[in-house]
Protein backbone atom coordinates (compact mmCIF):
# COMPACT_ATOMS: atom_id res chain seq x y z
CA UNK A 1 0.00 0.00 0.00
CA UNK A 2 1.40 3.43 -0.93
CA UNK A 3 2.01 6.11 1.69
CA UNK A 4 -0.80 8.29 0.26
CA UNK A 5 -3.27 5.41 0.41
CA UNK A 6 -2.29 4.67 4.00
CA UNK A 7 -2.75 8.32 4.94
CA UNK A 8 -6.17 8.37 3.27
CA UNK A 9 -7.23 5.27 5.20
CA UNK A 10 -6.03 6.83 8.45
CA UNK A 11 -7.92 10.04 7.69
CA UNK A 12 -11.10 8.11 6.89
CA UNK A 13 -10.78 6.14 10.11
CA UNK A 14 -10.26 9.33 12.11
CA UNK A 15 -13.29 10.97 10.49
CA UNK A 16 -15.47 7.94 11.26
CA UNK A 17 -14.24 7.87 14.85
CA UNK A 18 -14.99 11.57 15.23
CA UNK A 19 -18.50 11.08 13.82
CA UNK A 20 -19.10 8.28 16.31
CA UNK A 21 -17.78 10.42 19.17
CA UNK A 22 -20.01 13.33 18.14
CA UNK A 23 -23.03 11.03 17.98
CA UNK A 24 -22.26 9.65 21.47
CA UNK A 25 -21.79 13.16 22.91
CA UNK A 26 -25.03 14.32 21.29
CA UNK A 27 -26.88 11.34 22.75
CA UNK A 28 -25.44 11.93 26.21
CA UNK A 29 -26.44 15.58 26.10
CA UNK A 30 -30.10 14.77 25.51
CA UNK A 31 -32.34 15.41 28.47
CA UNK A 32 -34.64 12.77 29.91
CA UNK A 33 -38.24 13.90 29.64
CA UNK A 34 -41.10 12.54 31.74
CA UNK A 35 -44.16 12.62 29.50
CA UNK A 36 -47.67 12.77 30.95
CA UNK A 37 -50.68 12.63 28.65
CA UNK A 38 -54.47 12.85 28.53
CA UNK A 39 -56.51 9.73 27.86
CA UNK A 40 -57.21 10.64 24.23
CA UNK A 41 -53.51 10.89 23.48
CA UNK A 42 -52.35 7.58 24.93
CA UNK A 43 -51.52 5.99 21.57
CA UNK A 44 -49.67 9.10 20.35
CA UNK A 45 -47.80 9.30 23.66
CA UNK A 46 -46.65 5.70 23.32
CA UNK A 47 -45.51 6.38 19.77
CA UNK A 48 -43.55 9.42 20.96
CA UNK A 49 -41.87 7.39 23.69
CA UNK A 50 -40.93 4.71 21.16
CA UNK A 51 -39.01 7.35 19.19
CA UNK A 52 -36.50 8.02 21.96
CA UNK A 53 -34.95 6.25 24.94
CA UNK A 54 -34.91 9.65 26.64
CA UNK A 55 -38.69 9.88 26.96
CA UNK A 56 -40.37 8.07 29.85
CA UNK A 57 -44.15 7.80 30.04
CA UNK A 58 -45.86 8.79 33.27
CA UNK A 59 -49.47 8.31 34.28
CA UNK A 60 -52.39 10.20 35.77
CA UNK A 61 -55.52 8.77 37.37
CA UNK A 62 -58.38 10.42 35.47
CA UNK A 63 -61.47 10.00 37.61
CA UNK A 64 -64.62 11.97 38.36
CA UNK A 65 -66.65 12.65 41.47
CA UNK A 66 -70.35 11.83 41.56
CA UNK A 67 -71.21 15.39 40.49
CA UNK A 68 -69.08 15.02 37.35
CA UNK A 69 -66.18 17.26 38.39
CA UNK A 70 -62.66 15.82 37.97
CA UNK A 71 -61.02 13.70 40.65
CA UNK A 72 -57.42 13.63 39.49
CA UNK A 73 -54.17 12.19 40.84
CA UNK A 74 -50.67 12.61 39.37
CA UNK A 75 -48.68 9.45 39.98
CA UNK A 76 -45.01 9.61 41.01
CA UNK A 77 -45.26 13.30 41.89
CA UNK A 78 -42.23 13.11 44.22
CA UNK A 79 -40.08 11.30 41.64
CA UNK A 80 -40.39 14.06 39.03
CA UNK A 81 -38.85 16.75 41.24
CA UNK A 82 -35.86 18.22 39.46
CA UNK A 83 -36.81 16.41 36.23
CA UNK A 84 -37.85 17.69 32.81
CA UNK A 85 -41.60 17.19 32.45
CA UNK A 86 -44.02 17.47 29.52
CA UNK A 87 -47.75 17.03 29.09
CA UNK A 88 -49.41 15.92 25.84
CA UNK A 89 -52.83 17.55 25.58
CA UNK A 90 -55.86 17.32 23.33
CA UNK A 91 -58.44 20.10 23.72
CA UNK A 92 -60.90 18.26 21.49
CA UNK A 93 -63.97 19.69 23.21
CA UNK A 94 -64.78 22.16 26.00
CA UNK A 95 -65.77 19.18 28.17
CA UNK A 96 -62.19 17.89 28.48
CA UNK A 97 -60.31 21.18 28.76
CA UNK A 98 -60.91 21.88 32.46
CA UNK A 99 -59.52 18.59 33.74
CA UNK A 100 -56.43 18.91 31.57
CA UNK A 101 -55.84 22.54 32.52
CA UNK A 102 -56.05 21.48 36.18
CA UNK A 103 -53.16 19.06 35.61
CA UNK A 104 -51.22 21.47 33.38
CA UNK A 105 -51.35 24.20 36.04
CA UNK A 106 -50.08 21.84 38.75
CA UNK A 107 -47.21 20.05 37.02
CA UNK A 108 -44.84 23.07 36.86
CA UNK A 109 -45.40 23.65 40.59
CA UNK A 110 -44.06 20.20 41.52
CA UNK A 111 -40.48 21.55 41.56
CA UNK A 112 -39.71 20.22 38.08
CA UNK A 113 -36.63 21.37 36.19
CA UNK A 114 -38.69 22.46 33.17
CA UNK A 115 -42.20 22.07 31.82
CA UNK A 116 -43.41 21.71 28.23
CA UNK A 117 -47.00 21.62 27.06
CA UNK A 118 -47.48 19.80 23.76
CA UNK A 119 -50.78 20.89 22.23
CA UNK A 120 -50.60 19.61 18.64
CA UNK A 121 -53.90 21.21 17.63
CA UNK A 122 -54.84 24.67 18.89
CA UNK A 123 -58.59 24.21 18.51
CA UNK A 124 -59.85 27.80 18.53
CA UNK A 125 -57.21 29.03 16.08
CA UNK A 126 -59.71 29.74 13.30
CA UNK A 127 -61.70 32.07 15.59
CA UNK A 128 -59.06 34.76 15.75
CA UNK A 129 -60.87 37.79 14.28
CA UNK A 130 -63.61 40.21 15.22
CA UNK A 131 -65.67 41.21 12.20
CA UNK A 132 -68.13 43.27 14.21
CA UNK A 133 -68.50 44.54 17.76
CA UNK A 134 -69.66 41.68 19.96
CA UNK A 135 -67.72 38.89 18.23
CA UNK A 136 -65.72 36.83 20.72
CA UNK A 137 -62.26 35.86 19.45
CA UNK A 138 -61.90 32.61 21.36
CA UNK A 139 -58.38 32.08 19.96
CA UNK A 140 -57.30 34.95 22.19
CA UNK A 141 -59.21 33.47 25.14
CA UNK A 142 -57.47 30.10 24.75
CA UNK A 143 -54.08 31.79 24.39
CA UNK A 144 -54.71 33.66 27.66
CA UNK A 145 -55.60 30.42 29.44
CA UNK A 146 -52.39 28.79 28.21
CA UNK A 147 -50.36 31.91 29.01
CA UNK A 148 -51.28 31.61 32.69
CA UNK A 149 -49.47 28.31 33.19
CA UNK A 150 -47.21 28.84 36.24
CA UNK A 151 -43.49 29.05 35.65
CA UNK A 152 -41.36 26.10 36.75
CA UNK A 153 -37.97 26.16 38.45
CA UNK A 154 -36.45 26.26 34.97
CA UNK A 155 -38.44 29.27 33.80
CA UNK A 156 -41.43 29.80 31.50
CA UNK A 157 -43.37 26.90 30.05
CA UNK A 158 -42.63 25.90 26.46
CA UNK A 159 -45.78 25.37 24.38
CA UNK A 160 -45.47 23.23 21.24
CA UNK A 161 -48.23 23.79 18.67
CA UNK A 162 -48.46 22.46 15.10
CA UNK A 163 -49.67 24.57 12.18
CA UNK A 164 -51.64 27.13 14.12
CA UNK A 165 -54.30 28.63 11.87
CA UNK A 166 -52.76 32.10 11.63
CA UNK A 167 -49.13 32.87 12.43
CA UNK A 168 -50.04 36.25 13.96
CA UNK A 169 -51.69 34.31 16.79
CA UNK A 170 -48.23 33.96 18.32
CA UNK A 171 -48.77 37.50 19.60
CA UNK A 172 -51.85 36.37 21.55
CA UNK A 173 -49.61 34.57 24.02
CA UNK A 174 -48.17 36.47 26.98
CA UNK A 175 -44.50 36.50 27.93
CA UNK A 176 -45.02 33.93 30.70
CA UNK A 177 -44.88 31.13 28.09
CA UNK A 178 -42.63 30.39 25.12
CA UNK A 179 -44.67 29.18 22.12
CA UNK A 180 -42.86 26.90 19.70
CA UNK A 181 -44.70 26.72 16.39
CA UNK A 182 -43.95 23.55 14.43
CA UNK A 183 -45.36 22.22 11.17
CA UNK A 184 -46.42 18.87 9.77
CA UNK A 185 -45.39 19.79 6.22
CA UNK A 186 -42.08 17.81 6.37
CA UNK A 187 -44.19 14.67 6.86
CA UNK A 188 -46.07 15.48 3.68
CA UNK A 189 -42.96 16.19 1.61
CA UNK A 190 -41.41 12.91 2.76
CA UNK A 191 -44.57 11.03 1.74
CA UNK A 192 -44.75 12.75 -1.63
CA UNK A 193 -41.17 11.67 -2.39
CA UNK A 194 -42.33 8.06 -2.03
CA UNK A 195 -44.99 8.39 -4.73
CA UNK A 196 -44.46 7.44 -8.38
CA UNK A 197 -44.09 10.21 -10.96
CA UNK A 198 -42.99 12.85 -8.50
CA UNK A 199 -42.34 15.16 -11.43
CA UNK A 200 -46.09 15.26 -12.07
CA UNK A 201 -46.99 16.48 -8.56
CA UNK A 202 -48.46 19.96 -8.14
CA UNK A 203 -49.47 21.57 -4.84
CA UNK A 204 -52.78 23.40 -4.71
CA UNK A 205 -53.96 25.89 -2.11
CA UNK A 206 -57.70 26.34 -1.53
CA UNK A 207 -57.34 30.07 -0.90
CA UNK A 208 -54.79 32.87 -0.58
CA UNK A 209 -54.53 32.28 3.17
CA UNK A 210 -53.30 28.73 2.71
CA UNK A 211 -50.86 29.93 0.01
CA UNK A 212 -49.38 32.55 2.34
CA UNK A 213 -49.19 29.99 5.14
CA UNK A 214 -47.46 27.14 3.31
CA UNK A 215 -46.07 28.04 -0.10
CA UNK A 216 -42.52 28.72 1.13
CA UNK A 217 -42.44 25.26 2.73
CA UNK A 218 -43.41 23.63 -0.57
CA UNK A 219 -41.55 25.78 -3.07
CA UNK A 220 -40.00 22.71 -4.70
CA UNK A 221 -43.36 21.99 -6.33
CA UNK A 222 -45.34 23.98 -8.93
CA UNK A 223 -48.43 25.52 -7.41
CA UNK A 224 -52.07 26.13 -8.16
CA UNK A 225 -54.16 28.61 -6.19
CA UNK A 226 -57.93 28.54 -5.89
CA UNK A 227 -60.12 31.33 -4.62
CA UNK A 228 -63.68 31.84 -3.43
CA UNK A 229 -65.87 34.37 -5.21
CA UNK A 230 -69.35 35.44 -4.27
CA UNK A 231 -72.16 34.85 -6.74
CA UNK A 232 -75.41 36.04 -5.24
CA UNK A 233 -75.80 34.29 -1.90
CA UNK A 234 -73.25 31.58 -2.72
CA UNK A 235 -69.47 31.44 -2.50
CA UNK A 236 -68.04 29.62 -5.52
CA UNK A 237 -64.54 28.11 -5.74
CA UNK A 238 -62.65 29.16 -8.85
CA UNK A 239 -59.16 28.53 -10.20
CA UNK A 240 -57.14 31.70 -9.65
CA UNK A 241 -53.74 30.74 -11.05
CA UNK A 242 -51.77 27.73 -12.24
CA UNK A 243 -52.46 24.82 -14.59
CA UNK A 244 -53.29 21.41 -13.06
CA UNK A 245 -53.80 19.61 -16.40
CA UNK A 246 -52.33 16.08 -16.50
CA UNK A 247 -50.87 16.29 -13.00
CA UNK A 248 -51.38 14.76 -9.56
CA UNK A 249 -52.61 17.75 -7.58
CA UNK A 250 -52.28 17.78 -3.78
CA UNK A 251 -54.47 20.29 -1.96
CA UNK A 252 -52.76 21.57 1.19
CA UNK A 253 -54.36 23.33 4.15
CA UNK A 254 -53.93 23.52 7.92
CA UNK A 255 -57.23 21.91 8.92
CA UNK A 256 -60.49 20.49 7.66
CA UNK A 257 -63.92 20.71 9.27
CA UNK A 258 -66.84 19.65 7.06
CA UNK A 259 -64.60 19.35 4.01
CA UNK A 260 -66.89 21.33 1.72
CA UNK A 261 -64.12 23.61 0.45
CA UNK A 262 -61.83 20.67 -0.36
CA UNK A 263 -64.60 18.95 -2.31
CA UNK A 264 -65.32 22.09 -4.33
CA UNK A 265 -61.60 22.53 -5.02
CA UNK A 266 -61.37 18.94 -6.21
CA UNK A 267 -64.20 19.50 -8.65
CA UNK A 268 -62.57 22.64 -10.06
CA UNK A 269 -59.17 20.97 -10.41
CA UNK A 270 -60.68 17.91 -12.11
CA UNK A 271 -62.61 20.18 -14.49
CA UNK A 272 -59.30 21.81 -15.46
CA UNK A 273 -57.71 18.47 -16.35
CA UNK A 274 -56.04 17.23 -13.15
CA UNK A 275 -55.12 13.55 -13.60
CA UNK A 276 -55.89 12.88 -9.93
CA UNK A 277 -56.40 14.92 -6.77
CA UNK A 278 -55.24 14.26 -3.21
CA UNK A 279 -55.38 16.33 -0.02
CA UNK A 280 -53.27 17.01 3.04
CA UNK A 281 -54.31 18.74 6.26
CA UNK A 282 -52.39 18.74 9.51
CA UNK A 283 -55.55 18.71 11.61
CA UNK A 284 -58.40 16.43 10.59
CA UNK A 285 -61.13 17.83 12.84
CA UNK A 286 -64.12 16.36 10.96
CA UNK A 287 -66.98 17.17 13.37
CA UNK A 288 -70.02 14.90 13.21
CA UNK A 289 -68.04 12.23 11.29
CA UNK A 290 -67.83 14.46 8.22
CA UNK A 291 -64.81 12.40 7.13
CA UNK A 292 -67.24 9.77 5.85
CA UNK A 293 -68.00 11.82 2.75
CA UNK A 294 -64.40 11.25 1.59
CA UNK A 295 -64.19 7.46 2.01
CA UNK A 296 -63.92 5.12 -0.94
CA UNK A 297 -67.16 3.18 -1.20
CA UNK A 298 -65.81 0.38 -3.43
CA UNK A 299 -68.65 0.79 -5.87
CA UNK A 300 -66.47 0.67 -8.93
CA UNK A 301 -66.70 4.36 -9.68
CA UNK A 302 -63.66 6.61 -9.80
CA UNK A 303 -63.01 8.18 -6.41
CA UNK A 304 -62.63 11.93 -5.99
CA UNK A 305 -59.48 11.81 -3.82
CA UNK A 306 -56.62 9.42 -4.47
CA UNK A 307 -55.06 10.08 -1.04
CA UNK A 308 -56.14 12.07 1.99
CA UNK A 309 -53.29 12.61 4.45
CA UNK A 310 -53.83 13.81 8.01
CA UNK A 311 -51.64 13.75 11.11
CA UNK A 312 -52.55 12.31 14.51
CA UNK A 313 -53.04 15.76 16.06
CA UNK A 314 -56.75 14.93 16.53
CA UNK A 315 -56.69 11.48 18.17
CA UNK A 316 -60.43 10.88 18.08
CA UNK A 317 -60.49 11.36 14.32
CA UNK A 318 -57.61 8.92 13.86
CA UNK A 319 -59.43 6.34 15.95
CA UNK A 320 -62.62 6.74 13.92
CA UNK A 321 -60.98 6.68 10.51
CA UNK A 322 -58.78 3.66 11.08
CA UNK A 323 -57.30 2.53 7.77
CA UNK A 324 -60.22 3.53 5.58
CA UNK A 325 -59.18 4.67 2.10
CA UNK A 326 -58.23 7.26 1.00
CA UNK A 327 -57.00 8.25 4.46
CA UNK A 328 -53.41 7.83 5.62
CA UNK A 329 -52.17 9.06 8.98
CA UNK A 330 -48.74 10.70 9.09
CA UNK A 331 -47.65 10.60 12.72
CA UNK A 332 -46.23 13.61 14.53
CA UNK A 333 -44.53 11.32 17.05
CA UNK A 334 -40.98 11.73 15.74
CA UNK A 335 -41.34 15.48 15.35
CA UNK A 336 -42.73 15.86 18.88
CA UNK A 337 -39.91 13.72 20.30
CA UNK A 338 -37.42 16.07 18.63
CA UNK A 339 -39.28 19.16 19.89
CA UNK A 340 -39.05 17.89 23.47
CA UNK A 341 -35.25 18.08 23.19
CA UNK A 342 -35.18 21.74 22.20
Read off the pLDDT of residues 266-293 as tens digits, 9 standing for 90 and up: 999 999 999 999 999 999 999 999 999 9
C-alpha Rg value of the chain to the nearest Å: 23
**For residue 56, which of 73, 39, 75, 29 has the smallest C-alpha distance?**
75
Could you give the CA distance from residue 46 to residue 57 in angstroms, rounded to a whole number? 7
Sheet strands (E) in the chain? 33-37, 55-57, 60-64, 70-74, 84-88, 114-118, 157-162, 177-182, 201-205, 223-231, 234-241, 248-256, 276-284, 308-311, 327-330
pLDDT at residue 133 tops 80? yes
Could you give the CA distance from residue 340 to residue 342 in angstroms, rounded to a whole number? 6
pTM as predicted: 0.89
Whether residue 61 contacts residue 37, with contact meaning beta carbons closer than 8 Å, is answered with: no
- From residue 64, alpha-carbon distances to 4, 67, 70, 256 in Å are 74, 8, 4, 32
Please name every residue paired with 87 in a beta bridge, in sequence order, or none if there are none.
36, 117
Average pLDDT over residues 49-78: 97
Average pLDDT over residues 23-51: 86
pLDDT at residue 33 tops 60? yes
- pLDDT value of residue 18: 54
Q: What is the pLDDT of residues 84-119, one digit of tens each?
A: 999 999 999 999 999 999 999 999 999 999 999 999
Say what percent of the chain tops pLDDT 90: 83
Could you give the CA distance from residue 231 to residue 229 in angstroms, rounded to a whole number? 6
pLDDT at residue 316 tops 80? yes
Domains and their CATH numbers in the chain: 33-182+335-340 (3.40.50.2020), 185-311 (3.40.50.2020)
Whether residue 183 contacts residue 218, with contact meaning beta carbons closer than 8 Å, is answered with: no
- pLDDT value of residue 228: 84
- Residue 326: asked if its preceding bond is cis (omega within 30°), the reply is yes
Q: What is the pLDDT of residues 159-194, one digit of tens each?
A: 999 999 988 899 999 999 999 999 999 999 999 999
- pLDDT value of residue 11: 66
Residues whose CB is less than 8 angstroms from the CB of residue 316 and which lie 6 or more positions away in sequence, other chains included:
40, 90, 92
- pLDDT value of residue 23: 40
- pLDDT value of residue 21: 46
- pLDDT value of residue 296: 85
DSSP label of 31: P
pLDDT at residue 300 tops 80? no
Residue 225 CB burial class (10 angstroms; 0-12, 13-18, ≥19): middle
Average pLDDT over residues 38-43: 98
- pLDDT value of residue 71: 98
Q: How confident is the model at residue 29 (pLDDT cuts 50, 70, 90)?
A: confident
Largest alpha-carbon pair distance within the chain?
Answer: 84
Between 26 and 250, name the one with better pLDDT: 250
Residues whose CB is less than 8 angstroms from the CB of residue 255 and which lie 6 or more positions away in sequence, other chains included:
121, 125, 126, 163, 165, 281, 282, 283, 284, 285
Q: How confident is the model at residue 7 (pLDDT cuts 50, 70, 90)?
A: low
- pLDDT value of residue 1: 58
pLDDT at residue 219 tops 80? yes
**For residue 166, which of 240, 254, 225, 87 has the smallest C-alpha distance?**
254
Please name every residue paired with 225 in a beta bridge, in sequence order, or none if there are none.
205, 241
Whether residue 49 contacts residue 56, with contact meaning beta carbons closer than 8 Å, is answered with: yes
Q: How confident is the model at residue 334 (pLDDT cuts 50, 70, 90)?
A: very high
Among 6-15, 140-149, 309-318, which stretch is predicted with the lowest mean pLDDT? 6-15
Torsion angles phi and psi, residue 68, rounded to 5: 95, -15
**For residue 102, which of 51, 160, 161, 36 has the smallest C-alpha distance?**
36
pLDDT at residue 143 tops 80? yes
The 3-state DSSP class for residue 252 equals strand
Among 121-130, 257-266, 282-291, which stretch is predicted with the lowest mean pLDDT? 121-130
Q: How confident is the model at residue 14 (pLDDT cuts 50, 70, 90)?
A: low
Amino acid sequence: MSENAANNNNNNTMEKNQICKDAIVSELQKKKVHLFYCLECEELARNIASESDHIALQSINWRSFADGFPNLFINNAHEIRGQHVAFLASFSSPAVIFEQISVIYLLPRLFVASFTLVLPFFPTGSFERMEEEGDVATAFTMARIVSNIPISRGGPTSVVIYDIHALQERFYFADQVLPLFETGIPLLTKRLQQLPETDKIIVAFPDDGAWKRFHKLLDQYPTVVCTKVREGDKRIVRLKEGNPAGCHVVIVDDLVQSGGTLIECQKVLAAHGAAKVSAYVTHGVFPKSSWERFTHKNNGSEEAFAYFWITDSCPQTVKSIGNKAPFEVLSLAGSIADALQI
